[in-house]
């Protein structure tokens, strides 16, 4: 086995200088560049979906009320349970228990037949608690069993600090019914991958067709980024070349104040932000709207997909045998590499390249793209990208050199030596035999 010191070759532009290390030793730490004091909400975060990276965090792991995402989780389970939203369910008495005091209701009556579509749409758009309650009962068979389904799904998604008490998110002590901003954003990212759900949370208004004499004939989104129905103060209008807002939810609870989750897609990158816990700012405005908008605009402007390695970069040469075209092959990356980083990252100084060439020598033929090693890129201590190192060119085998090589292999040389030795010994023996015979046949003198 070859020594590791012979196999591993390190190429690095420059190790991170101390200021770079402390500023963004990993992409998450870049959030320090945004002043957290400017965010009035005590619980906030920004999440990049494509890279699964949190780029801003403030109290992101503190417990908050489940009202922020309980209905979102209910919608996830409902859309995964029902393939046809036109089916109807009966709002039996048990399905409406425990929601009489909540003000956000569509007005479903006991034993009324309601379509799943009307339930899901009114729950997500109008935050209607009775819709969530009816869905919960009919999917789980009981509210308790549906809650178990919610917590099982939370575990499946890796929501380690989330515990649901019901499908509506109302009531319950925060010690046994809670979530966090971090968990909420992971859930929101998962939910928005469902095209139907993404469509619903961006619907401004909806008129249920199966509910008899609803409290409001039409429900309107409570997300004021999208509609003026609640307030015109927060509408975020799309502008050419600028990020525009999308869903996801707006909630209020006495325990956690206002909780807003919204997302934006900019230059093929999706950011989701949540701010929770602040009531109103000094001007009487709901702080969550300003906080989320500032964070989404900052993230869209600050981060990008940056090329960190070009596939034309040469990492060395490897000797090649049995070719009369070339006695070496150039080593390059299989592909160019990209990473999600602050757009102004100085790749030449911030990124460390560590590579391993596993072959000391190659024998022709050598194929283009033949793997000969690996390169890994690091930002601080975090690996951000990697790929194979490969042969850059095709090198054909020489028939003449291959024949000569086969002719003069170690075994062939040993064999030829043995044959020559045997022939020599045979010649010597024959010489002495003929010499003896010659002596015996010489006539005696008289």
pTM of the shown model: 0.77
Task: Name 199's Cβ contacts closer than 8 Å, sequence gap at least 6.
Answer: none
d(CA 339, CA 266): 16
Q: Residue 413 has what pLDDT?
A: 61
Fold agreement (4-19+310-391, 34-303): no
Q: Residue 68 has what pLDDT?
A: 83
What is the H or E stretch that residue 13 is in? Answer: none
CATH classification number, 4-19+310-391, choose in 3.30.300.30, 2.60.40.10, 1.10.3720.10, 2.60.410.10: 2.60.410.10
Strands of 322-391 (E only): list them.
328-333, 337-342, 351-357, 362-363, 371-379, 382-391
Q: Residue 33 has what pLDDT?
A: 61
CATH classification number, 34-303, choose in 3.40.710.10, 3.60.15.10, 3.10.290.10, 3.40.50.620: 3.40.710.10
Q: Which of 29-33, 213-217, 361-365, 411-415 shows the lowest mean pLDDT across its residues?
A: 29-33
Query: Collapsing DSSP states into helix, strand and coil, what is residue 187?
Result: helix
Q: Residue 404 has what pLDDT?
A: 63
Q: Residue 4 has what pLDDT?
A: 36
Q: Tens of pLDDT along 296-327?
A: 999 999 999 999 999 999 999 999 999 888 99
Which range scores top for mean pLDDT: 13-22, 149-158, 205-214, 404-413? 149-158
Query: In which band, very low, low, confident or very high, does the pLDDT at 19 lie, cut at 50, 70 and 90?
Result: very low
Query: Does pLDDT of 10 surpass 60?
Result: no
Average pLDDT over residues 88-117: 90
Nearest by Cα to 320 from 312, 308, 330: 330
Q: What is the mean pLDDT of the chain?
A: 86
CB 13 within 8 A of CB 348: yes
Structural domain boundaries in the chain? 4-19+310-391, 34-303, 408-440
The token pair that represents 374 in the structure block:
């690996």
Task: Name 110's Cβ contacts closer than 8 Å, sequence gap at least 6.
Answer: 91, 92, 93, 96
158 or 416, which is more confident: 158
Query: Does pLDDT of 24 surpass 60?
Result: no
CB 260 within 8 A of CB 222: no
Nearest by Cα to 209 from 144, 282, 116, 139: 116
Q: Residue 429 has what pLDDT?
A: 78
Torsion over CA of 424, 428, 433 and 435, rounded to 10 degrees? Answer: 140
Query: Does pLDDT of 204 surpass 50?
Result: yes
Query: In which band, very low, low, confident or very high, does the pLDDT at 13 lie, cut at 50, 70 and 90?
Result: very low
Average pLDDT over residues 388-402: 87
Q: Residue 28 has what pLDDT?
A: 41
Cβ of 294: how many Cβ atoms within 10 Å?
Answer: 16
Q: Residue 206 has what pLDDT?
A: 95
Task: Name 121's Cβ contacts closer than 8 Å, sequence gap at least 6.
Answer: 200, 203, 206, 208, 219
Query: Does pLDDT of 390 surpass 70?
Result: yes
In terms of phi and psi (left: phi > 0; alpha: psi -120 to 50; beta: otherwise), the region of 117 is alpha
Query: In which band, very low, low, confident or very high, does the pLDDT at 432 lie, cut at 50, 70 and 90?
Result: confident
Q: Tens of pLDDT along 69-84?
A: 999 999 999 999 999 9
Query: Does pLDDT of 193 surpass 70?
Result: yes
Q: How many residues does the chain have?
A: 446
């Amino acid at each position: 086995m070859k020594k590791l010191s012979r196999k591993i070759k390190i190429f690095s532009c420059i190790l991170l200088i101390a200021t770079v290390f402390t500023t963004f030793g990993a992409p998450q730490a870049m959030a320090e560049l945004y002043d957290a004091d400017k965010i009035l909400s005590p619980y906030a975060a920004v999440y990049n979906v494509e890279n699964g990276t949190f780029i801003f965090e403030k109290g992101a792991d503190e417990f908050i009320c489940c009202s922020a995402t309980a209905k979102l989780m209910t919608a996830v389970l409902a859309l995964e349970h029902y393939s046809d939203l036109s089916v109807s369910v009966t709002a039996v008495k048990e399905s409406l228990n425990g929601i009489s005091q909540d003000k956000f209701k569509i007005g479903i009556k006991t034993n009324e037949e309601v379509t799943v579509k009307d339930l899901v749409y009114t729950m997500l758009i109008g935050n209607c608690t009775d819709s969530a309650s009816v869905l919960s009962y009919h999917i789980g068979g009981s509210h308790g069993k549906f809650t178990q389904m919610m917590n099982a799904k939370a575990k499946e998604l890796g929501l380690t600090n989330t515990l649901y008490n019901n499908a509506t998110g109302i009531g319950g002590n925060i010690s046994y019914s809670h979530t966090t901003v971090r968990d909420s954003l992971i859930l929101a990212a998962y939910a928005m991958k469902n095209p139907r759900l993404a469509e619903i949370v961006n619907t401004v208004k909806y008129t249920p067709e199966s509910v008899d004499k609803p409290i409001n004939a039409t429900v309107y989104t409570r997300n004021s980024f999208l509609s003026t129905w609640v307030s015109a103060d927060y509408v975020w209008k799309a502008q050419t070349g600028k990020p525009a807002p999308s869903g996801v939810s707006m909630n209020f609870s006495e325990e956690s104040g206002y909780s807003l989750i919204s997302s934006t897609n900019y230059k093929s990158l999706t950011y989701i932000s949540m701010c929770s816990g602040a009531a109103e700012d000094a001007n009487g405005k709901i702080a969550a709207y300003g906080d989320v908008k500032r964070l989404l605009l900052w993230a869209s402007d600050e981060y990008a997909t940056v090329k960190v390695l070009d596939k034309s970069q040469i990492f060395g040469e490897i000797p090649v045998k049995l070719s009369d075209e070339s006695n070496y092959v150039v080593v390059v990356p299989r592909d160019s590499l990209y990473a999600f980083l602050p757009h102004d990252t100085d790749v030449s100084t911030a990124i460390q390249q560590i590579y391993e060439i596993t072959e000391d020598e190659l024998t022709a033929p050598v194929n283009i793209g033949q793997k000969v090693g690996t390169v890994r890129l690091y930002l601080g201590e975090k690996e951000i990208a990697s790929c194979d190192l490969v042969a850059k060119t095709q090198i054909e085998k020489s028939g003449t050199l291959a024949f000569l090589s086969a002719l003069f292999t170690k075994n062939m040389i040993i064999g030829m030596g043995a044959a020559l030795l045997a022939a020599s010994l045979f010649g010597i023996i024959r010489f002495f035999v003929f010499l003896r015979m010659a002596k015996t046949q010489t006539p005696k003198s008289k």
